[in-house]
Amino acid sequence: MSWLLKRMVRLYPQAWRERYQEEFGALLEERTASVADVYDVALGALDAWLFPQVVQERSVALMVGRMRRSVLLVLWAWVGVVAAGVGFQKMTEYEDFVRAARESTPVGMSFDAVVVGALVALAAVFAGSVPIVLAALGDAFRRGRKEVSLLLCVPPLALGVFVGYVLLLMKVVYPALGGLAVHDPANVALFVSIAVMFLLAAVASAASVSAAVGRSGVGERLYRFALYPAALAALAMFVVSVATVVWGLALWAQAPALFAGDDGILATPTAASWFVILAVMGCCTYAAVAAALRGLRASGFRQ
């Protein structure tokens, strides 16, 4: 594993290697290599290419870089959980699922846990990201970095475009087409277009915030603070994922006909829709929890 890490150092920019390669190599030799180290070195290489400026001394720069990567990775993981959560909400809005939640306590309580966990994650993400975004915006104005300001305009613009697109479909397109069946090709195409627009808006927003933060001089103190809301968000995502598991199992036990039916997203098999949603949530939650733990460890790292 150590030989792989030493080869991976070549992925870093030339300027970075000229300054840090010798010390970084010595640091790698002092510890037993693991899969987590491969993951960390790969993320570090990506971070070095995206955010090449060095604004602090080596030990502090390493710590800030790891904290920044952790916070941003939690943000990206949250976007994935939100995407899966939208699918879950779309599936469970049908009357059969609403009735099952009313009649079965486990189904109803697990659904409520999904909602509460999602709200907590949303609040935690905003609590951790807003101070960093404001600091990045202030730094951009002081230093005349117009590209940072433009990048931070992307999220509200993306939200506006997405909302406008949905309103256009709901107010103009759907009424013009008349009543569409669930399996109607036009209905499927319109739903897929909404999902694609949502994903594009979410990815564009997360990418622009990540790029803006990396190009600004946000200090150690804000990243250290943001790690705690990030950890709370990761915990809330874990709760959402577990509650989704419980919801599916409870539905299977309490309403097996519904679980085995074709009441999933766009009349797909319910079990298949649930499994896909759960798989996306699980992968994103794992990434968020791992990133939060790595960031919290890094926040105490000093040389």
Strand, helix or coil for residue 33: coil
List CB contacts of 267: < 8 A, sequence separation 6 or more: 182, 183
* Distance from C-alpha of 162 to C-alpha of 200, rounded to nearest angstrom: 9
Among 106, 83, 108, residue whose Cα is nearest residue 265? 83
The whole model's pTM is what? 0.73
CA–CA gap between residue 24 and residue 298 (Å, rounded): 16
pLDDT tens for the chain, 303 residues: list them: 566 767 777 777 776 777 777 777 777 676 666 776 777 777 777 776 665 554 444 555 566 777 888 888 898 999 999 999 988 988 888 888 989 999 999 999 999 999 999 999 999 999 988 888 888 888 888 877 788 888 888 999 999 999 999 899 888 888 887 776 666 777 778 888 888 898 899 889 888 888 888 777 777 788 888 899 999 999 999 999 999 999 999 999 999 998 988 877 777 889 999 999 999 999 999 999 999 988 888 776 443
Measured between alpha carbons, how far is residue 181 from residues 170, 177, 233, 281 in Å?
15, 11, 38, 29
C-alpha pair distances (Å), 79 with each of 93, 103, 111, 121, 214: 21, 32, 20, 11, 19
